[in-house]
Structure 1
Amino acid sequence: MKVFTLVFLSLFLTKNCNQKEKEEMKKATIEYQAISRGSYFNIQIQNEVLSVVRNRGEKAKSYQLAKEDFKELADLFVKIDLNQLENYKGPAEKRFYDGAAMANVRIVYEGKLYQSQTFDHDSPPVEIEAFVNKIVSFVKTENNDN
């Protein structure tokens, strides 16, 4: 009986944690932007909707995120220390000589803006690397579908 109770509570608590992460993520607006002389794109995620702008002056195209993708992103989101986001530095500096597009992440969460330092697109700070790579993967997947 103790084993059954332990298994039941573990499953229940896991489900509640996953739901809590999703709810935290729904309170946030996330924006990833990468800019260079010849390229521009902006990804915005709000409430399970992904909006993408590929060129300056272009209208955003919106897509509904799959539930499992949103859950993965929410799991990564809750691991970020938003108060430290501005202190994270990218591992490379190719953007200084046009070797890479300049990128940054902005998160509006509970009415407060958190913003990263500028880093090389495709080379985010280690502390947010998985989160940024997941966001960018949505656009790469969306791009392959068209």
Structure 2
Amino acid sequence: MTSTKIEYSAHSRGYHKSIVVENKSVSVTNGRDAAPVKSNIDDAKWNKIVDAFSKVNLESLSTLKAPTDKRTYDGAAIGNLKIIQNQKTYETPGFDNGFPPKEIEKLVNLLVDFAKE
């Protein structure tokens, strides 16, 4: 995971959140003009992220189907997961923030937890 960067973002007209995990550190941005808040990730949480990440099929990210469609009528912010590994980018189509596809649910929920802390 030393050459891996994981980015989760959620946005709508009045909402913006960005969470970036890289090299045992996390950067959380709440708001379009807000400064990112950086912190280190403890070993226990890092191991959970590594475990969840190991179960993600990077090649299939672009074909994942969103389980809900609330984002289509402003019922939810649009969520997106992007993974950059070895200078290659893998990205999901948009999905409802809070309702990620099952294949990435555990990883996304671990990332979103950082924004709650």
Which stretches of structure 1, 4 residues or longer, exceed 3 Å deviation after superposition?
Answer: none
2:25 to 17, 39, 49: 49
Could you tell me which of 11, 35, 44 is aligned with 1:35?
11
Q: Distance in 1 between matches of 2:2 and 2:102?
A: 24
Shift of 1:43: 0.3
Unpaired segments ≥5 residues, structure 2: none
Aligned length: 117
* Among candidates 91, 94, 106, match of residue 130 of structure 1: 106
Q: In the alignment, what sits opposite 2:49?
A: 73
What is the alpha-carbon distance in structure 1 between the residues aligned to residue 2 and residue 46 of structure 2? 10
What per-residue deviation string (whole Å, max 9, x for no partner) do you get for residues 25-49 of structure 1? Answer: 2221010000011110100001011
Residue 63 of structure 2 corresponds to which residue in structure 1?
A: 87
Distance in 1, Cα, partners of 2:16 & 2:10: 6
**Partner of residue 72, structure 2:** 96
Larger relative helix fraction? 1
Runs (5+) with no aligned partner, structure 1: 1-24
Give, as a single letter, the amino acid of the residue that structure 2 aligns with 1:49. S
- Partner-residue secondary structure (3-state), 2:80: strand
TM-score by structure 2 length?
0.97
Aligned counterpart in structure 1 of residue 37 of structure 2, from 55, 58, 61? 61
* Secondary structure of 1:73 counterpart: helix
RMSD of aligned alpha carbons: 0.7
1:106 and 2:82 are equivalent in the alignment: yes
Specify the structure having the higher radius of gyration (Cα): 1
